Amino acid sequence: MSNEPRTLMYREALNEALMEEMRRDDTVFVMGEGIAERGGSYKVTAGLLAEFGEKRVIDTPLAEASFTGAGIGAALTGMRPVVELLFIDFALLTLDQVINQAAKLKFMTGGQGNVPFVMRTQGGTGNGVAAQHSQSLEAIFYHAPGLNVVMPSCPHDAKGLLKTAVRHNDPVIFIEHKLLYMNEGPVPTDDYLIPFGQGDIKRRGSDVTLIAWSNMIPRSLTAADKLAAEGINVEVVDPRTLVPLDKELILDSVRRTEHVVIVQEAVRRGGVASDIASIIQAEAFDYLDAPIEIVAGLNTQIPFNLTLEAACVPQEDDIIAAVKRAVYA
């Protein structure tokens, strides 16, 4: 089979990953709200019901705590559930099962128990869905030992990382972004996996390291192209997984460029960006020629109004301004 890439949408790449893994392993099943007959609100599960039937493609009630617990229980028996939550905001209803139970079982059984459980959900702003449907909550899961946290930014990464997640023996929080589902990009035809903890340099550069993830990657790449026209060469680093974090890729880039900008959509306070900055400060401080710049969401609720929503999270101009501050400090 040729490995010549095709162009797929982000949601199509995710759908293909689920199709392939369900064909490969009959212990894999999916469950969530509206994922069977409707094919999911973002059409990631379209076509699964027709091929795999209602025993492996399960529509659930509007009860995230209940069906997440059911998925974790199924994982304890040797199944490989992929549980979809429509919005990451609703994951707050599942934190006891996910953080107190699934994340801790392997530790509390001395390594004898595994929880091969994947929570697929989406977060971030976009489309004016207001404060209860627009949060970026990755820091909650990043903070909890025992969980893998995955945030792909393009179709290629979405497919390879989801396939890895389904095969993983520990719980995975797989966070998509509502504005990425229609984005297109190359995806190989052959089967492939992307290991957790293996970041990617999305754009090579020499003047500044720009670290971002999820929907902040396309925004950062556009900003980098504009900065290139002004003679600033930006290296864009995508960790792809926040846990485990490809620390060495980040540090190697920082040691080469000696300037750092970190971009997250989540609010600034208590965010992943701050932790990455602390790692750089601790392990590459002598290489820094300027203070680390963090571009992040405002410490506020996300408004319904689209103009106000955009003002609350990093835009291209915010990223460009931060890069210039770092380079010209």
What are the residue ranges spanned by the domains of the chain? 6-187, 200-327
Residue 133: active-site member: yes
Structure-token pair, residue 188: 């190989």
Per-residue pLDDT, 329: 79
Write down the residue that tokens 């977060």 correspond to. 123
Per-residue pLDDT, 315: 98
Per-residue pLDDT, 4: 76
Per-residue pLDDT, 1: 45
Contact 39, 45 (CB under 8 A): yes
**Domain 200-327, CATH among 2.40.440.10, 3.30.460.20, 3.40.50.300, 3.40.50.920:** 3.40.50.920
25-65 confidence digits (pLDDT tens): 999 999 999 999 999 999 999 999 999 999 999 999 999 99
234-286 confidence digits (pLDDT tens): 999 999 999 999 999 999 999 999 999 999 999 999 999 999 999 999 999 99
Whether omega for the bond prior to residue 244 falls within 30 degrees of 0, making it cis, is yes
Per-residue pLDDT, 68: 97
Going by their DSSP bridges, the two strands 208-211 and 260-267 should be labelled as parallel
Per-residue pLDDT, 2: 54
Going by their DSSP bridges, the two strands 80-85 and 118-123 should be labelled as parallel
CATH of span 6-187: 3.40.50.970
Using a cut of 0.85, tell me whether the model's pTM lies above it.
yes
**Residue from 133, 156, 177, 259 carrying the catalytic annotation:** 133
Exposure string of 109-140, with b = 16+ CB inside 10 Å and e = fewer, is eeeeebbbbbbbbbbbbbebeeeebbbbbbbb
Residue 158 identity: A
Nearest to 84, CA basis, from 197, 166, 194, 168:
166
Structure-token pair, residue 216: 């902040």
Contact 309, 128 (CB under 8 A): yes
Low-confidence ranges of the chain (pLDDT < 50): 1
CATH topology agreement for domains 6-187 and 200-327 = yes
Per-residue pLDDT, 118: 98
